[in-house]
Every structure is written in structure tokens, then in C-alpha cells.
Structure 1
Amino acid sequence: MSKKLKIGIIGAGIQGISNGLFLQKKGFDVTIFDKDEPGSPAASYGNAGHFSPYACVLMNRPDVLTDVPAMLLSSTGPLALKWNYVPKMIPWFLQFIRNCTTKRMMHTAKNMHQILDLALPAYDELFDEIDLEGLVEKKGILYIWNDQSLKSRELEIKVRNELGVDQQVVTPKEIHDLEPNIKPFYHGGVYYQHGRHARNPKKILLKLFDLFLKKGGKFLKMKVQDINFDEEKPVIKTETQKFIVDKLVIACGAFSKRLTDNLDEKIPLDTERGYHVHFKDCDHLLKRPVIFSNRGFGITPMEQGLRVVGTVEFGGLNNPPSKGRIKNLINNAKYMLGDLPEHEDEWMGFRPSLPDFLPVIGPSKNHKNIFYSFGHHHLGWTLGPISGKIIAGMIAEENTNLNLKPYSSLRFS
């Protein structure tokens, strides 16, 4: 196979840039398209900054359905709906409910574990080529809860044990020793010693993007309007130009659905909206990310201060941000740490979620020269490089010992 195939990638977040770097390693000529500059305030900029190799138990679990009404009614809870978006979400929710059986939960967990297990080594391959300057810390990640949340937590711990995930159940005293500044409202927790966190996700993304350019990659700041075909070759249509490529990767997160719909592939991708705020000059209060499971939010110590992130809001791409969700984060942070200064930097971003909580990684159903790398919900940041490595292997037609069928878009047809 002639190695200098031209590959186009739509999306300049962690998925797109990771795909670009691994495709370059295979000798391909790569161009990334995005309507915004890399590092713009999208999901790869505003996320919690966790590298979470343990996070294989997702939202599709049998106990979630009994919890959802209470979550929606609680002002401090992790879940919210924009009511004007509910009619659009109904088909997604019906599929989600079908995925909330023990069997489907285990299917998701097993196949998330398969790629999460390879996620940090894939990052290290890319990190070996840049100067990280202390932008990644290896201090583990801590989850805490109080007794109301215990049954759900026991289920997660059991599933992760079955899959061989490294986890350490911690007592209140051990939690206090790890993070003495947290108010003692917790009854238990789990410490994941192999978790890492980013001190500044945007800076890491830009360093990887610079590496991509240095290796001959091209970036075009253009909005892709449609994809057509010249015989079987994808034609990328922007507002002013057309570009023919040999293969195309769609990696634009929550915005991927518009393109897959146009390719006549009905992938039930929807949007979870996530929020963050910063408390400047407070990052000394925590040594590592801490997540309070009952309320579904977390705090990560970063260069910008303490980044408080969380809540899942189903509201689509067009609704304005919810002031209530921001207030919720501020109140939760103070509940965990007591007095904090005035917050800064209110941010909202979009997470692409599928009803079985597995990403789509692999070729399109209808077009053999189009590949997908999206739908990674809360784990897009963790799974960027491993997804890129898998796609690069597929495009280079290499054999793999991974079972990639569970990530195929064919599961929705």
C-alpha cells in the first residue's frame, strides 16, 4: 500500500490531534480541519483533566433507573434536563434504558476496560516526544461518598474487581490523610493510585498540536459543511473550497452527528453538557482530583486554580448555559472545602454520549474510506491517544488482537 495516502481529520480536539499524530507515525500525510483554533474553549479545553484508566463502570447500570427521578429533583444532584429538549431526547433515553441491564452494563464495562487499560501507555508514546514541564501529575484520583450512596458504590467496586482494575478502598481516616482540607462529611471512598491529572489540559493539547505541525501536519481553520464523494474518495466541502482525501476521520465530538446523519448513518449520538468554574490561587488545598460521588462533581487542582467540574445536563447544542448548574458547582465546592474566594471562568462544553456508553471507533457502515472516532462521553480526554492509535492501525490495515467489534457503528443498524 502506498504509504503517502492523504488523510483528512475533522476536529482539532484531543481525539483529532491524537488521530493525526498516530497516523503520522504510520507515514500518512495528514490535514486537520476545524472551525476553531485548537485549544479553543471546547471539551478538550474545559474537561476535568483526569486521566482515568479505571473508569469502566458507566451510567448504564440497573440501579441508575431508580436513582434518576431523585437526581432530577435534587438541586445539588448530578443530573439535569433542559425541559425544552426532552422531546428530542426521548429516543435516546429509551435506548439508554434498554442498556441498563446487568448484562449490558458488564458488556460496556468489559469493553471500556479493554481500551482504558491501554490509554496511559498510548499517552506516554506521545508524551515521550514533548516537554511536559510538570503539566501531568501522578498522584492518583480519589472518589469519596457518604452512606446514602453506598449501594451504588459497592456495585462499581465489585465490577471493577471482577475486571482486575487497580483500586484501593479507603477509610475516612485514610481519606483525611490523603486530603486533610476536605470537610469530614464522607464515610468512605476509593483511591485509584494509577490515575493522573493535567495541570492545564489546554497547554497539553497545544503541545501535542505543535508536535503534529512540526512533523509536517497541516491545519485548516474552516467549517466543514458536508462530505461528498469522488468515486469512493471523500470530498470535504467547506464554505469556500473542496478537498479530496484518500481517507477521512470524523472526530468532532458532539458535533459529529450532523456529518454522520448526512452520510445516511443513524448513530444515536447526543450531548451531555458539562460545566466548570475556577477558584484562583486555591490549588494548594488539594493534592489530587477529588470526586464526590453522591453529587456527581469533582475538583481538580490546576494552574488556573481549583477547577470544579461536573453535572450532566441533557440540553443539546443550542440551549444557553444554565445559571443553576454553575451555582450548583459553587455550592458543592464550598460544601467540600468550606470558605472559598469569588469564583471565575464560567464554562460550558459538550460531551458526545451514546446510549450504551461505548464510543464509536472504526469505519463507517456505508463508506469504507470514512472512519469515526467520537462518542467518548466523560472519557474523551483519557481515550484520545488510544482511539487515535486504533484508527491509525485500521487505516494502515494492520492486524490487532483487540476485539474492536463493540465500538463499531454497526451496533446501531
Structure 2
Amino acid sequence: MDDVAVIGAGIAGLATALNLQERGRSVKLYDPLGVGLGCSWGSGGLINPDAHLPVAMPGMIRNVPRWLLDPLAPLAVRPADALASLPFLARWLLASRPAAVREGVDALRALHRNTLREYRMLLGDAYPDHVHERGGITLLIGEQPSPAERLAAELRRELGIVCEELDRREIEARVPGIASHARRALYFPGNAHTPDPAALCVALGDRFREQGGAFRSIKVDRIVAGDDFCTLWAGGEAHLADQVVVAAGARTPTLVKPLGLKIPLVAERGYHLQLVDPSLELSAPMIYREGGFALTPMRGGMRLGGTVEIADADAPPNYARAEALWGRAQRLFPGLTAADKRPWMGSRPALPDSVPAIGRLLRAPRVAIVAGHGHDGMIGGPASGRLVSELICGQATHIEHRPYRPDRFGWSTVLRQAW
């Protein structure tokens, strides 16, 4: 019987497995795709300790009609899935209330702020190969700060986040050739990125195996949690484990619902466009708020990553959303060319408040989950893996764990908070 079975070999599952090994546990990883070949493979590569804003922000309700009508908007709801998405969207709008946003900001800040330290511990000597600490630029919209921008600035001051305001001259000095409408930006010196998310995951997987970990390339269909052990049913076979951690991304609700946890996690489908040999060279990532995407330097090219599409995980991809990134990038960098453009789509696991669910299941305490990072998995995955490992091993947690409780989404709780 396995000591701990971890379902899912993305960044969160890998970080969980390595942290459990560090605490003396024997671990087996299960993933039918292989190490890091799901959403972690398609990540935009941002590793930003200073990321702290949830997707749901005050005033977002005004955007809902546009999301429903424009299939190429940076954030869109697939029409065929609009009705099924309404419960999630309702929770999302409740999460955009100022008090709820403040709770989300505090939770994300606590989880993200030490992510570089967590990566150093996980990667060891391989850290410099996979994490580049070169800061990052966020372009701002318009000539004057918007209400949302003023709120973000206030939160940064409260949280002690260091950034530099850049004017047009300073932007052009850092990024030659950028369009003239890019007149304001922020530079975050403490942010970082990975030039190859897949290689980073492979490095973690190799370290896991070197430390005695076992990997099974098999899909777990069902978990039966007993009083003394758990049974994982995969490929018609039973696999026994003392404890289980579900880090299965968008598949997590299917696995935990029979165990008594109904979690409002949806497939937030993200797209990227990988540019091969682009004419533009960036030394550090750039987030373009107006276009709803980020540009990240990668080995062999550059990745345009972003956009959010609320849709069924099994619905066919709408690669026009990935191609739309190319047009937005060309408006930002006139004359941009590339030898090739390779689209990708993946279903990121998203929760309404953008805060992942981390912890044991109340009705099945031998099972824990770590899921719901949305587009911040590469940022929050390492600390999430540490937190769930501390909970499993009965240790004091390095951050307060209650904001991440998996059972926080009951409608009675949500409505009580709303009032």
C-alpha cells in the first residue's frame, strides 16, 4: 500500500509530492498525461511573487453583456455553456464585492509572496536554469488612472509591494519599438519567469524520482475513502494508499464530489500562441492589461498567453481566440513577425474568488485537495504543495490555512458574507 498517492503531476501535484518526501513520506504520483503535460505545459511562464489581484474585481458586472456577446473578448463565456455557467458567474460577481476582494487579495499575497524561495527549495542547484529573476512590466490603460487602477495602487501600498512607475520615455528605453499608445507602465523588480514551463516540471519530476518517488501514467477514475485506507480505481485495477491528495486540475470536482465535496470549480480555458523566432526580443515578461494577455520570452521564441473562456472542458477549442492574440501583439509592436505561430488551449481549474482550495475533505479526512489556481498555478503551486503537505503531516502551517478551506463555498456561507 502506498503511503500517499498524489493525483496530478502538474506544478501543484509535483510540489506536493516533493514536500511530502521532504517530510519523510513515501509518495506515488498518478497522471495519464505524464509529468507537467497538462496546463502547466501551456503556462504563460509568469512566476510573480507580487501577483495578488483576483480576477473578480469591483465593477466587473458591467462587462458581463460584452463577455456573452464577443467570443474573442479577453474574457468570454461560450454561448453554449452560458446557462450552465450561471451559478459560477453569480459566485464570481459576489466575489467582486470590495470586502470579498480584500479577503482574496490577502490570501493570494500570503500564498505568492515567497514563491521564489519555494522554487529554490524544490529545484535546488537547477534553480537558475529554470527561474529567471528579471522583473516584469505591466502596461497601464489610458492617460489617467482608472478607479480599478487606483484601488490596485492602494492595495500595493498596503501590502508593501515595490514597483516603479514608468513614463513613455522610460518604457521605450526598456522596450524599443513599442507602439506610441503605450504611455504608462509599472515595473515590478521582484517578479520572475520560467523560459520553459515544461522543462521546469520535468526537472521537478526527475528530482521526485531520484528521491525514491514512483510515477504511474494512468488515469484515476474513482476514489473510495475508508476509515483505514483509500482505494484508487484506475484502469479497472485497485490501488491502495494511506492518504490521497487530489491535484487533478479541472477533473478535481469529478473525483471529490462522491466524497461529499461539491466545489464550484470550472474549466477556465486559456489559450496561448507560441511564436517561433519572433522579430521582438524581450528580456522580461510584459503584461498588457488592455489586450488581456502577457508576452513572455521563452527558449526558442516568445509566448503570448492569456485570455479566459468559460466553457465545458470537453468542448472543441476555439483557436480563433489564440490567433486574436497575434493581432493584439502586432498593435502593441507594429511590424512584429515570427517564423511560425503554434496555438494551444488548456482547461485551467478556476474558482470564483481566484483563491485555490487546499486542505482535507471534511467527510473523507484521508483525502485532501489542492486545486483551483486558475491562471496562477506556476505562482501559487509551490506554496500550495507545501501547505497541503503540512496539513497532511499534522505540522504547523507556514501560512494561515483557513482562507483556502475547500468547504468555504456553501451558498449559506456565500450569502451570509454578501450581506
TM-score (ref. length: structure 2): 0.93
**Match 2:284 to one of 281, 288, 309:** 288
- Three-state SS of the structure 2 residue aligned to 1:257 is helix
- Three-state SS of the structure 2 residue aligned to 1:312 is strand
Match of residue 153 from structure 2: 157
Quick one: which amino acid aligns to residue 52 of structure 2? C
Give the superposition deviation at 1:133. Answer: 5.9
Question: For residues 127 and 395 of structure 2, what CA distance do their matches in structure 1 show?
Answer: 30
Match of residue 140 from structure 1: 135
Match of residue 344 from structure 1: 341
1:384 aligns to 2:381 (yes or no): yes
8 Å contact kept, 2:143–2:183 = no
1:13 aligns to 2:10 (yes or no): yes
8 Å contact kept, 1:300–1:308 = yes
Match of residue 85 from structure 2: 89
Gaps of 5+ in 1: none
Q: Could you say if the C-alpha distance between residues 183 and 45 of structure 1 is closer, same or farther in structure 2, counting changes exceeding 3 Å?
A: same
Give the superposition deviation at 1:5. Answer: 7.3
- Three-state SS of the structure 2 residue aligned to 1:180 is coil
User: Matched residue pairs, number?
Assistant: 408
Give the superposition deviation at 1:71. Answer: 5.2
Q: Which moved more, 1:375-384 or 1:277-286?
A: 277-286
**Match 2:300 to one of 304, 314, 337:** 304
Q: Could you say if the C-alpha distance between residues 176 and 272 of structure 1 is closer, same or farther in structure 2, counting changes exceeding 3 Å?
A: same
Question: For residues 150 and 316 of structure 1, what CA distance do their matches in structure 2 show?
Answer: 36
Equivalent residues in 2 for 1:112-131, closer than 5 Å: 112-128=108-124, 130-131=125-126
- Three-state SS of the structure 2 residue aligned to 1:330 is helix
- Three-state SS of the structure 1 residue aligned to 2:139 is strand
Give the superposition deviation at 1:406. Answer: 0.9
8 Å contact kept, 2:357–2:404 = yes
Question: For residues 57 and 123 of structure 1, what CA distance do their matches in structure 2 show?
Answer: 21
Gaps of 5+ in 2: 411-419
**Match 1:106 to one of 89, 102, 106:** 102
8 Å contact kept, 2:278–2:339 = no
8 Å contact kept, 1:20–1:32 = yes
Give the superposition deviation at 1:162. Answer: 1.4
Equivalent residues in 2 for 1:24-63, closer than 5 Å: 24-40=21-37, 42-63=38-59
8 Å contact kept, 1:283–1:305 = no
Match of residue 199 from structure 1: 195
Give the superposition deviation at 1:27. Answer: 0.5
Show CA shifts across 1:101-124 (max 9, x none). Answer: 110000100111111112221111
- Three-state SS of the structure 2 residue aligned to 1:357 is coil
Match of residue 405 from structure 2: 408
8 Å contact kept, 2:68–2:79 = no
Q: Could you say if the C-alpha distance between residues 126 and 285 of structure 1 is closer, same or farther in structure 2, counting changes exceeding 3 Å?
A: same
Match of residue 80 from structure 1: 76
Give the superposition deviation at 1:343. Answer: 3.5
Give the superposition deviation at 1:304. Answer: 3.2
Give the superposition deviation at 1:68. Answer: 3.7
Give the superposition deviation at 1:64. Answer: 1.6
- Three-state SS of the structure 2 residue aligned to 1:332 is helix
Q: Could you say if the C-alpha distance between residues 321 and 76 of structure 1 is closer, same or farther in structure 2, counting changes exceeding 3 Å?
A: closer
- Three-state SS of the structure 1 residue aligned to 2:145 is helix
Question: For residues 279 and 193 of structure 2, what CA distance do their matches in structure 1 show?
Answer: 13
CA-atom RMSD in angstroms: 1.9
**Match 1:356 to one of 349, 353, 356:** 353
Match of residue 239 from structure 1: 235
Give the superposition deviation at 1:239. Answer: 1.4
1:176 aligns to 2:172 (yes or no): yes
Q: Which moved more, 1:171-180 or 1:132-141?
A: 132-141
Give the superposition deviation at 1:323. Answer: 2.8
Quick one: which amino acid aligns to residue 341 of structure 1? A
Quick one: which amino acid aligns to residue 180 of structure 2? P
- Three-state SS of the structure 1 residue aligned to 2:274 is strand
8 Å contact kept, 1:72–1:79 = no
Question: For residues 223 and 14 of structure 1, what CA distance do their matches in structure 2 show?
Answer: 17
Q: Could you say if the C-alpha distance between residues 227 and 8 of structure 1 is closer, same or farther in structure 2, counting changes exceeding 3 Å?
A: same
Give the superposition deviation at 1:22. Answer: 0.6
Match of residue 246 from structure 2: 250
Question: For residues 68 and 169 of structure 2, what CA distance do their matches in structure 1 show?
Answer: 32
Question: For residues 29 and 143 of structure 2, what CA distance do their matches in structure 1 show?
Answer: 47
8 Å contact kept, 1:278–1:304 = no
Question: For residues 112 and 217 of structure 2, what CA distance do their matches in structure 1 show?
Answer: 31
8 Å contact kept, 1:257–1:267 = yes
Quick one: which amino acid aligns to residue 405 of structure 2? S
Q: Which moved more, 1:67-76 or 1:104-113?
A: 67-76
Give the superposition deviation at 1:260. Answer: 1.5
Match of residue 271 from structure 2: 275
8 Å contact kept, 1:250–1:256 = yes
